[in-house]
Structure formats: C-alpha cells, structure tokens
A = this chain, B = another copy of it.
C-alpha cells in the first residue's frame, strides 16, 4: 500500500463479500442464452423483473431531450423540475399531511452518497450511529469512509422469548441497551439509522414502532435517518413513511431518504433523494453535492419518469407488483421444498431465509463454509454475517429476478444442500 494515505489503505482492505460477489458476477454473468454456465447473483437486490417495461418507457422520445441548462452548470442540489416533481411524488406516495417543500429536497447520485454527505454534516468524526442488526452493513462504509462514523450495534436474534415477541424484534429496551453499550465504549452516539422496510429482514415497521423510535431519538437528541428505499415494493402490508407524521418529535433531526434504485429497478441511474426540514442541513448538503452530482440528462429522465403518474399507476405499479409476487412465490415455494423457511414476505425484493439446519457447525465459520460451497457452484446468496447478524445460518436471497434465474438458483441450492456432508448431520439433528 505504498503511496496511499492511511484511509486509502484502509478502504482498499475493507472489501466485503457483497462486493466480491458482484465482482465475480460482473466478470462472468449468467445468461440463459449466451452464458448458461455463468455466475448467478441472487445476493444483490436489484429489481430485474421489470426491465422490458422500464426500457420501453425510458427510451421514449420525451426522454431524449437536452437543453443548455442540463448540459451546463446547474443547481448542485438538483434541477428544479426534478425537485418539484419529487416533492409532489413523495407527498402523495408517503401520504404527507401537507405538501412537501421542494426546497427541502436534495438530489444526489444515489442514497449511498446521501448517507455519506449527511453523516459528514450532522456528525463529527468518531461519533457513533446506533442501528439494529442484521442491517445493510454497507451503511458503515457510507458513513465511515469519508465521515469517520462508527457503528454501535443493537443485535437482534431469532429466539422468541419474553422480551422478543417475534424473531428479530426491535424494542426500545434494546435501543437503550445499545446507547448504554456506546457509552461504555466511550462512543458519542449522535444518530440512529433505520431502514424501513428493514433490510435484510424484510420487516415493515408498524406505526407505533416508528413513533417509539422517533421519541427515543428525541430523548437522546439523536438525528434519525429513515432510509425508506424499498417503500414502494411493499406487498400486502400497510407501510408508514416517516413523512406521513403530523407531528414529528424532533423535525430538525429527522431525515428521510429514498431513491429510484430499488423500487424502480434503476440502480444505474444514481438518483437518491433526501428530504429534511432542517435548513442548515439543506444548505450544507447543497454544498456537499459538489461531489455527488447527478448527470443533467439523467435528472431530466427521472423527472419525466416520476411525473408520468398515469403510466406509473396504470402500467408500472400493477405489472411490477404482479411480477414481484410471482417471483417471490417461485423462490419461496422452492425454498420450502428444500425445507428452508423465510420470515416476512412483505417486501417484494428479498427474503431472509433460515439455513441453520444446513450449517456444518452453528458458527460463522460454518456459515462461511456453506457460502463458499454456493460460490463454488457459481451461486451468490448473501450470508447473515455480511449484515452483522449475531446469529449464524441466515441468508438473504433476492426475489425480484426473472423466473429462469430463480429456477437456476434453486437447482444450485438443491445441488449444494443435498450433496454436502452436512445433509446427514442436519437430517439427524433435526
């Protein structure tokens, strides 16, 4: 690592399994026709069921537009038309009691950038953020690489007990314990980061729980970052956005994040959206946007897309929901046949599945061993360790993929689970 700074060397050394798997996939991607022996990636959440639909819409003539302002310098926080449209869109889909203000919106090139910049402007280096685990652990990279935050985990587990009404239940008592842990470690906790719907659990937080979390944060003067990136992919469950609250306990410290990457299968467009009522945060984020700007033509594309409510309501959402449901059914049914249960089926993009009975040992070494066998079979699903899960044996599988890919995934799973030495062990121990 000669010639690198301390943080340069650190960031190179921190590659995680998700990235490694994505790298393997990009080098040798499975394709039904062209590369049927390729790598099957069921570990990264991308909505791939609607690509044809999206392509048709995104290549219409209204998308192929350019004016001088889109090609030149523009508002760092996002072009006006997109911020106005995003405000209208979120007002409706998050059921805001009042019209949201476009001046409270910051557009950046993805929610990873928003978390990066937001953590820099609201927290000091060394500060801690509280978060229940398992969680989307790249948040630690997003808030750590530049901003120097450190995570303080609130570990949830699957055992149902007096204090754990359902598997991986989040309670205020556990958050309190997290604060206490931070204190003991000498970490000044200044933020609470929640993903709702929860990733990887797939749990949709009920209204009362969100309220309790907001009140908890308010008591400790924590900033709350609500990452609702999967909110429009929720199925059969009432979803409550933080933007729907009439009276937030601490609006100046409450920040909402959403983007087009997941719900619209547009990871590649790099459009992330922050909504916050804190004017200082808006101003500082506008300046940080210097480093996180989106392409002008792509912002125009996002604007055109969000404003076509007729197409979204009558074509995209109904088709997408049906396809997501079918895909989920395919994968979950297949998992059930392999005797792998999943918990929560409310998010249409991934499930959290219990592979514990297939572990060679109930340890993270055992989990990694199983993962490596999937990888040898050119299949990536994501082990719980990647999400900082405190209990080995859980994996997240993406469901929002074309049926033939899920079928190949199931075949590969079957092959690994039935041929491995651990099948007898787990059958006996069952």
Contact = CB atoms under 8 A, between A and B. Distances in A.
A112 to B, nearest CB: 5
A62 to B, nearest CB: 11
A292 B293 CA distance: 8
Interface string A36-76: 00000000101010010011001100011111111111110
B51 A71 contact: yes
Given A4-B122, A146-B147, 7 more contacts: A9-B280, A46-B73, A54-B66, A71-B265, A145-B290, A145-B291, A295-B297
A83 interface: no
A22 interface: yes
Interface in A179-194: none
A124 interface: yes
Contact of A66 (B55, B66, B291): B55
A246 to B, nearest CB: 22
How many chain A residues sit at the interface, stated as a range, is 35 or more
A8 to B, nearest CB: 3
Contacts of A147: 146
A34 interface: no
A344 interface: no
Interface of A: 1-9, 11-12, 14-15, 22, 26, 44, 46, 48, 51, 54-55, 58-59, 63-75, 109-110, 112-113, 116, 120-124, 127, 141-142, 145-147, 223, 252-253, 265-270, 278, 280-281, 283-284, 287-288, 290-298, 301
Contact of A284 (B11, B55, B120): B11
Nearest to A122: B5
Contacts of A51: 68, 71
